[in-house]
Amino acid sequence: MAKQSVVKMKKPCCDDTGPCRLPADRSAEQMAALAWAIAHPARVRIVRLLISRNTCVCGEIVDEMPLAQSTVSQHLKILKESGLVQGEVDGPKVCYCINPEKLAMLKALVASL
Amino acid sequence: MAKQSVVKMKKPCCDDTGPCRLPADRSAEQMAALAWAIAHPARVRIVRLLISRNTCVCGEIVDEMPLAQSTVSQHLKILKESGLVQGEVDGPKVCYCINPEKLAMLKALVASL
DNA sequence: ATTGCATATCGTCGATGTACGATATGTAAA
DNA sequence: TTTACATATCGTACATCGACGATATGCAAT
């Protein structure tokens, strides 16, 4: 997905001809953004890993993944940007953990489909 | 997401050194593929539209979206490839509807996180 | 057969994703 | 301060997305 794709609006969202569709669109964007975070097998595995070990891990993730360290770091960045994952420096290492609120939000949004 | 990205496996999945991680990976790919289907606001809106009108719609989708007909068709193609949406020709028109099984699978996979 | 409408596909463009190696940054220990 | 390690960022390359207009396809009515 284009994270900040500029969607050209041929129809205004809030006009005189119909009901305001903005809330639905915001929800759709929110949902799409969270879905996008787990729209890659590597990121699904990372999320599962972080959930299974409530003890936040860091470079162990790299060891679990068949990807280069830099690539894993990129995926972690995407997960952080989505809010699903939080990182906190702990000495020379960085501990990652799940953001339970965002995870709950993702679950709720999908469940409400 | 790269739909058919070839992930170079630096570690074999099923070897003598550890437990087979294939099922988890298949599940991760399945989940990522379904998440990818709704990882765009336009596709979220289409899915919601199809759910709200159990009566399968077709070109009405285009009227509801601020996108060109060809673009909507592309999104529908992606949704069809994911299995979340099914299309069936009805005369000159095409009726789309949700695949309840796939939707349930998506919900279950996300809920099982 | 031809016309007309609905939908899909094609071709193109710019933007982004995903992967890697190489390098920079930052922290703790020596 | 220097060294060593962990992580992030950079630069690059290739593939794909997402958007559009234009065109092709398919079906039904004339």
Chain C positions with a protein C-beta closer than 7 Å: 4-11, 14-22, 26-28
Chain A positions touching chain B (beta carbons under 8 Å)? 1, 7-11, 24-25, 27-29, 31-32, 35-36, 38-45, 47-48, 51, 66-67, 103, 106-107, 110-111, 113
From A8, A35, A67, residue closest to B35, measured CB to CB: A35
Query: So what's the pLDDT on residue A65?
Result: 94
- The tally of domains found in chain A comes to 1
Contact assessment for residue A42 and residue A61, using Cβ atoms and an 8 Å cutoff: no
Tell me the nearest-neighbour CA distance from B87 into chain A, angstroms: 19
Query: So what's the pLDDT on residue B9?
Result: 33
- Asked whether residue A54 is domain-assigned, the answer is yes
Please report which confidence band the pLDDT of residue A23 belongs to, taking 50, 70 and 90 as the band edges. Answer: low
Please report which confidence band the pLDDT of residue B105 belongs to, taking 50, 70 and 90 as the band edges. Answer: very high
Contact assessment for residue A38 and residue B35, using Cβ atoms and an 8 Å cutoff: yes
Residue A103: which CATH number?
A: 1.10.10.10
Query: So what's the pLDDT on residue A20?
Result: 42
CA distance B39 to B34: 9
- Asked whether residue A5 is domain-assigned, the answer is no
CB contact under 8 A, B11 and A66: yes
Whether residue A12 has pLDDT greater than 60: no
Read off the tokens for A74. 């990129």
- Asked whether residue A15 is domain-assigned, the answer is no
Length in residues, chain B: 113
- Asked whether residue A91 is domain-assigned, the answer is yes
Read off the tokens for A13. 């969202």
Query: So what's the pLDDT on residue B24?
Result: 60
Residue at shortest CA–C1' distance from C19: A71
Whether residue B14 has pLDDT greater than 70: no
- Helix, strand, coil percentages (3-state) for chain B, rounded to 5, are 50, 10, 35
A66 CA to D4 C1' distance (Å): 25
pLDDT in tens, A40-95: 999 999 999 999 987 778 799 999 999 999 999 999 999 999 999 999 998 889 99
- Asked whether residue B50 is domain-assigned, the answer is yes
Pairing of strands A93-98, B85-90: unpaired
pLDDT in tens, B53-94: 877 788 899 999 999 999 999 999 999 999 999 999 988 899
Query: So what's the pLDDT on residue B54?
Result: 79
Name the residue type at position A69.
Q
- Helix, strand, coil percentages (3-state) for chain A, rounded to 5, are 50, 10, 35
CA distance A54 to A65: 18
CB contact under 8 A, B32 and A44: yes
- Asked whether residue A46 is domain-assigned, the answer is yes
Query: So what's the pLDDT on residue B2?
Result: 40
CA distance B29 to B24: 9
Residue A106: list chain B partners with CB under 8 A: 110, 113
Place of tokens 């539209």: B49
Domain span at B53: 39-111
Classify residue B43 by burial, with Cβ atoms within 10 Å: 0-12, 13-18, 19+.
buried
CA distance B29 to A41: 5
Strand C close residues, chain A 11-40, CB < 7 angstroms: 39-40
Please report which confidence band the pLDDT of residue B10 belongs to, taking 50, 70 and 90 as the band edges. Answer: very low
Contact assessment for residue B85 and residue B99, using Cβ atoms and an 8 Å cutoff: yes
Query: So what's the pLDDT on residue A1?
Result: 45
Residue A25: list chain B partners with CB under 8 A: 41, 45
How would DSSP label each residue in A83-97?
Answer: TSEEEEEETTEEEEE
- Asked whether residue A82 is domain-assigned, the answer is yes
CB contact under 8 A, B110 and A110: yes
Read off the tokens for B25. 């990976």
B90 CA to C3 C1' distance (Å): 20
Consecutive H or E run containing A67 = none
CA distance B35 to B88: 23
- Asked whether residue B20 is domain-assigned, the answer is no
CB contact under 8 A, A47 and B106: no
Query: So what's the pLDDT on residue B11?
Result: 35
Tally Cβ neighbours within 10 Å of residue A83: 16
pLDDT in tens, B22-38: 456 889 999 999 999 99
